[in-house]
Amino acid sequence: MAKTRKQKEKEVEKITQYFSEMKGAVFADFTHLSVSDMEDLRAKLREQGTKLKVVKKSLFNLVLKKDKNLKEIDDNLEVPGALSVAFGLEDEIAPARILSSFKKDHKKFEIWGGILDNKYLSKEEVLDLALLPSKEQLRGQVVCVIYGPVSGFVNVLSGNLRNLINVLKNISKENEGGDNA
């Protein structure tokens, strides 16, 4: 059943809203996926705070014309008919990472490009972006870098204290042994 003009306008508004709220997005070809594969992909994306929207090219062009920040995408992205857009609403890299790993299991699934900081990314740039560690991993690495020197410093300081305690114990043992004789 064909969509009415009102339904199309609502869909354009929804997609425009996603573009305004997103931190990053990835465009992909979904046409060779089964329904169950699409549902699996949606579930993986949902876990990471990412939305997947399937959009007709004509409606997508309306969204691009509404937003001046997306003009570069309109100039670079060539899509035959429909496309899927994964919007990273919480993490910039999550859509690229998830779609890239999904592509490894589904050879016919194709990534076309993406957006980061309102700049168009080619397919290769999206795949490179997917290799970056997540925010949680980066935070963990920063904590380790900060914790390492502090931990070493504390060990050095406590080493002198331990040595002092050992010396005092030995002195007290010698004094106890001298009283018995």
Per domain, the residue ranges of the chain are 5-132, 133-181
Q: Which helix (H) or strand (E) holds 88?
A: strand 82-88
d(CA 58, CA 124): 25
Put the strands of the sheet holding 110-116 in their side by side order. 50-56, 82-88, 24-29, 110-116, 119-122
- Predicted local distance difference test score (pLDDT) of residue 181: 46
For the full predicted model, state whether its pTM sits above 0.75.
no
Tell how strand 50-56 and strand 110-116 pair up. Answer: unpaired
Q: Are 130 and 24 in contact (CB under 8 A)?
A: no
- Candidate CATH numbers 3.30.70.20, 3.40.50.620, 3.30.70.1730, 3.40.50.720; the one for domain 5-132: 3.30.70.1730
- Predicted local distance difference test score (pLDDT) of residue 115: 87
- Predicted local distance difference test score (pLDDT) of residue 122: 87
Q: Are 96 and 145 in contact (CB under 8 A)?
A: no
Q: What is the pLDDT along the chain (181 residues), one digit of tens a residue?
A: 677 888 888 888 888 888 888 888 899 888 888 889 889 999 998 898 888 888 888 888 888 777 766 766 766 677 666 788 999 888 888 899 999 999 888 888 888 888 888 788 888 998 998 888 877 888 888 888 888 888 888 888 888 888 888 989 999 888 887 555 4
Q: Which helix (H) or strand (E) holds 37?
A: helix 35-47
